[in-house]
Structure 1
Amino acid sequence: MHSGRRSMPASHCLPRRNRVSVSLPPATAPDLRRRRGASSMTTVIVPLDGSDRAEQAIPWATALCHRINARLTLISVVEIPVEFGAWSAASAMAVGNELDEWAAERKAYLKDVASKIDGIQIDIVSRIGSPTSEVLSAIGDVEDPFIVMTSHGRTGASRVVMGSAANRIVRDARCPVLVIRSQRETPDVTPSFDRVLVPLDGSEFSEHALDRGLDAIAPGGQSIAVHLLRVIEFLAVRIPGPDIPLDYGLVAEYTEAMQEEATNYLGVVTGRLSEKGVAVT
């Protein structure tokens, strides 16, 4: 989005406004610190780069905020172009002024986005640096963070919410991350957290993600329907040789045993969740 002031380089110009997966060196930002609220997730953080694709996360973030009574933080990071290196060494003052102006433009953009959201307490944060590092830093500055972001935003050097960035945030963030698959056109959908698909592999780690995710989107026993999924790996059996027949009976026996084990496992998890009042299919 271009302002009336001096514009950013092409790699940072902000365009005009116009299925979902959940995953389970800090900088000080006093304006982000908030008291712990009644819900388990008090601050929903949405990284934005000015693109329509990144903004597709906003409806999901606002729906989550309304559902769990959370705050919303909109954050945008000005990434310094590599080309600035040589020039900045020769003209530190000019670079400082330019960066301040870019940060101000990002803040104006965030204010415009925030003005279109009703019924939620909103903070806006504009930073300068590495987008992924700054987003990861921001989660350490709030109580109970929950990141909501799209899988892709810009392309090229000005990326803020790219596939690789989303992967890094999912991997390194010590909080739940909701990743919305971005689409070329903004979808006309009403976000809902009433039904959730949860893949499990039988490990304690995956069950921890299940418990953490439910605590995040359905605190205090809120109504939610959970569909549990356990996928049985296909048994890859090599044929020893042309004269040695493949034992299909053994493969069938293995598959049946794994299906029984998976069914029993899901039954145990279902029973545990049902005791908490969660509807499971």
Structure 2
Amino acid sequence: MAKNILVPIDGSEQAERALDYALESFPDASITLLNVFTKGPPEVHLERRGKDYAELRARRGEMLDRLVEERTFDDQIETQVVVGRPSREIVDYAEGHEIDQIVMGSHGRDGASRVLLGSVAETVVRRAPVPVTVVR
């Protein structure tokens, strides 16, 4: 069973389900919640208007802290906020730390009875150095 689980969190319902899955499936593991946001022109992202990146990083950290506080757990949950391209940062984090498995949410789409992975999840599945569980 995996010891160190990485759960990328983007604020979506799928990401929260991935966290719940990780907590249920790996009750003895250490879990790291990773939030990645892209640094770009403020006009590209409405939430960034009038904000500096330190404040945005703090807000993302608070979001992760709320997710931890809302859940009951016995083992350690760490939180990390990084700036970069989400798929690259997730894979780099897994490579640079002792991560045994990634558990992440996917974007499920209705129609034709098929599930399409979001571009971040698809890239992580292809490039990750460890097993990836995709939760929808």
TM-score range, shorter chain: 0.7 to 0.9
3-state DSSP of counterpart to 1:76 = strand
Letter matched to residue 173 of structure 1 = A
TM-score, normalisation: structure 2: 0.79
- 1:151 pairs with 2:110: no
**How many residues align structurally?**
122
Structure 2 CA distance, aligned partners of 1:65 and 1:120?
A: 10
Correspondences of 1:1-281 after superposition (within 5 Å): 41-66=2-27, 69-82=28-41, 98-117=52-71, 118-152=73-107, 163-181=118-136
TM-score, normalisation: structure 1: 0.40
Deviation, 1:151, is 1.1
Instruction: Looking at secondary structure, tell me which structure has more strand per residue.
Output: 2
3-state DSSP of counterpart to 1:57 = helix
Letter matched to residue 137 of structure 1 = D
CA deviation profile, 1:11-70 (whole Å, cap 9, x unmatched): xxxxxxxxxxxxxxxxxxxxxxxxxxxxx522111111112232111111101221xx21
User: Contact 1:46/1:57 (CA < 8 Å) preserved in 2?
Assistant: yes
CA deviation profile, 1:160-185 (whole Å, cap 9, x unmatched): xx61111100000010000012xxxx
Structure 2 CA distance, aligned partners of 1:65 and 1:141?
A: 21
Deviation, 1:83, is 5.5
Output the aligned Cα RMSD: 2.2
Q: Structure 1 stretches of 5 or more lacking a match?
A: 1-39, 86-96, 154-161, 182-281
User: Contact 2:36/2:85 (CA < 8 Å) preserved in 1?
Assistant: yes
Structure 1 CA distance, aligned partners of 2:25 and 2:93?
A: 19
Structure 1 CA distance, aligned partners of 2:128 and 2:99?
A: 12
- Taking only the aligned residue pairs, the percentage that are identical comes to 32
Structure number with bigger Rg: 1
Q: Structure 2 stretches of 5 or more lacking a match?
A: 45-50, 109-116
Structure 1 CA distance, aligned partners of 2:85 and 2:41?
A: 11
3-state DSSP of counterpart to 2:75 = coil
